[in-house]
C-alpha cells in the first residue's frame, strides 16, 4: 500500500516520503524568490520582460536570500540530526548543546572588537563563529567520553549555552547604542542580504559538512545505538565522532556568523523527517537537509510577507513554532513507536 495512516496523518512510505520531501523542498526553493511585498511573475522572469528594478530585486536580493535561508536551514537541521545521534539524545541540537551560543559569542566578539579580516577568503566572522562553536562542543565531547548519561550531557550543554549567552549579553552591555541594536537584531536571526557574498560564505562549509556527514551515514546508524554497540559492530567511534563534531561545528559556526542563531530548526526538522522517512541515516540525512532548508525558507518567506512592508525576524517565527511542535511530537511519538518502522 502506498500510503498508511498513522496518528490521523496520511504518511507516505519512507522511500516515497523522501521523494516527497525533496520535491516539496525544491518546489519551495523555486517559488519563494517570486513571493514578497512585490510579487514577481516567473513567466516574465524567464522571458526578457522583467523591468530592471524587479530584475535587481529578484537576482540581487530574493534569490541570494532564499539560497542563504535554504543552506542555513539545511545546515542547522543537519547539525541537530547528527548531535541527536552522536549523543543519543532527542533534545540535542546546536542550541541545547550550546554550539550555536558559542558561535554567536565568537561572532559577536569579532564584531565588537572591530576586526575586519579574511584568511584564504574565509571571513573573520566565520572564523570566530566556527572557533566559538568548537570551543563549546569540545568540552561537551570530552564530558560525553567520560560516559556521562545523555541527560547529564544535555545539562552540560544547557549550562554552556547559558554561559555563552551571558557573555554575549556582556558584550552588548559594553557596546554603544548602534552596536547593541546590531547585535540584538542579528541574534534574532535573518537573511537580509544583498548579493551572493553571504551565500558563498556559508556554502563551502555547509556543503563540506554535509558531505562528511553523508559519507558517514551508515556509521551514524550505529552510533545512534550508543558508543559501545557502535564500536562492537565495527565503527571506530574515537575517530568518527570527532570528525562529525568538527563537521557540525563548521556548518553551525559559519551559518551563525552570517545569519544569527536561528533556533528550533535543529530540533524540529530532524524529528519530522525521522517520523516520515524512518531511522536510516542514509535517507534521513538527505531528507533532513532538504526539510530543514525548506522549513527555514518558508519561515523566512512568511517573515518578509506577513506584515510587509515590515519584516519579522525569522528566528522569532521558528521559535514560535517550537512550542506547538513539541506538543505534536509528544502525540506523534506514540504512534511512531509502533508504526514508523521503515
Residues contributing to the site for another protein (CB under 8 A): 88-90, 146, 150, 218-219, 221-222, 224-229, 231-236, 238, 274, 279-280, 333, 336-338, 340-342
Q: Which is nearer to another protein, 32 or 213 (CB)?
A: 213
Question: Which three cell numbers, joined as nine digits, stand for 242?
Answer: 570527532
State the minimum distance, in angstroms, from the CB of residue 237 to another protein: 8
60 vs 217, beta carbon nearer another protein:
217
Q: Which cell numbers in the block locate residue 247? A: 563537521
Query: 83 vs 133, which CB is nearer to another protein?
Result: 83
- Reported for 270-274, long-range contacts at CB under 8 A and 24+ positions apart, including other chains, are 270/77, 270/80, 270/81, 270/84, 271/90, 271/325, 271/329, 273/21, 273/77, 273/81, 274/336, 274/340
Q: 4: how many CB neighbours lie within 10 A of its CB?
A: 12
Cβ-based nearer residue to another protein, 175 or 231 = 231
Nearest distance in Å: CB 93, another protein? 14
Least CB distance from residue 78 to another protein, whole Å? Answer: 17
* Residue 233 CB, nearest approach to another protein (Å): 5
Element (H, E) at 72: helix 63-86
Query: Considering beta carbons, is residue 180 or 279 the nearer one to another protein?
Result: 279
Using alpha carbons, select from 299, 300, 274 the residue that is nearest to residue 285.
274
- Shortest Å distance, C-beta 91 to another protein: 10
Residues 192, 300 contacting (CB under 8 angstroms) = no
State in angstroms the smallest separation of the CB of 109 from another protein: 34
Q: Where are the beta strands (DSSP E) in the chain?
A: 3-6, 9-12, 118-119, 122-123
SS3 sequence, 280-332?
A: CHHHHHHHHHHHHHHHHHHHHHHHHHCCCCCCCCHHHHHHHHHHHHHHHHHHH
In the complex, minimum distance from the CB of residue 142 to another protein, in angstroms, rounded to a whole number: 12
Nearer to another protein (CB atom), residue 271 or residue 304: 271
SS3 4: strand
Cβ proximity to another protein: between 126 and 216 the closer is 216
Asked if 312 contacts 303 with a C-beta cutoff of 8 angstroms, the reply is: yes
Amino acid at each position: 500500500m502506498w500510503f498508511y495512516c498513522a496518528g490521523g496523518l496520511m504518511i507516505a512510505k519512507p522511500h516515497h516520503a523522501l521523494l516527497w520531501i525533496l520535491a516539496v523542498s525544491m518546489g519551495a526553493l523555486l517559488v519563494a524568490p517570486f513571493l514578497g511585498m512585490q510579487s514577481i511573475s516567473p513567466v516574465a522572469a524567464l522571458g526578457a520582460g522583467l523591468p530592471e528594478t524587479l530584475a535587481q530585486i529578484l537576482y540581487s536580493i530574493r534569490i541570494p536570500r532564499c539560497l542563504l535561508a535554504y543552506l542555513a536551514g539545511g545546515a542547522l537541521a543537519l547539525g541537530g540530526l547528527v548531535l541527536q545521534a552522536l549523543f543519543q539524545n532527542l533534545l540535542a541540537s546546536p542550541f541545547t548543546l550550546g554550539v550555536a551560543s558559542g558561535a554567536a559569542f565568537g561572532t559577536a566578539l569579532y564584531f565588537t572588537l572591530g576586526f575586519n579580516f579574511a584568511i584564504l577568503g574565509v571571513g573573520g566572522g566565520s572564523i570566530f563563529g566556527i572557533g566559538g562553536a568548537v570551543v563549546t562542543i569540545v568540552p561537551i565531547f570530552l564530558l560525553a567520553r567520560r560516559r556521562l548519561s545523555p541527560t547529564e550531557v544535555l545539562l552540560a550543554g544547557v549550562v554552556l549555552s547559558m554561559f555563552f549567552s551571558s557573555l554575549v549579553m556582556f558584550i552588548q552591555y559594553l557596546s554603544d547604542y548602534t552596536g547593541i541594536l546590531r547585535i540584538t537584531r542579528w541574534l534574532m536571526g535573518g537573511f537580509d542580504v544583498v548579493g551572493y557574498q553571504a551565500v558563498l560564505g556559508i556554502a563551502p562549509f555547509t556543503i563540506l559538512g554535509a558531505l562528511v556527514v553523508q559519507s558517514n551515514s551508515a556509521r551514524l546508524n550505529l552510533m545512534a545505538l550508543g558508543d559501545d554497540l557502535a564500536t562492537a559492530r565495527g565503527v571506530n567511534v574515537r575517530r568518527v565522532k570527532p570528525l562529525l563534531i568538527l563537521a557540525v561545528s563548521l556548518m553551525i559556526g559559519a551559518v551563525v556568523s552570517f545569519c544569527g542563531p536561528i533556533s528550533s530548526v535543529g530540533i524540529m526538522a530532524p524529528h519530522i523527517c525521522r517520523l516520515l522517512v524512518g531511522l536510516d541515516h542514509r535517507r534521513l540525512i538527505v531528507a533532513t537537509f532538504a526539510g530543514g532548508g525548506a522549513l527555514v525558507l518558508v519561515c523566512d518567506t512568511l517573515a518578509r510577507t506577513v506584515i510587509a512592508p515590515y519584516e519579522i525576524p525569522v528566528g522569532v517565527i521558528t521559535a514560535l513554532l517550537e512550542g506547538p511542535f513539541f506538543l505534536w511530537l509528544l502525540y506523534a511519538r506514540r504512534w511512531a513507536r509502533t508504526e514508523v518502522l521503515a
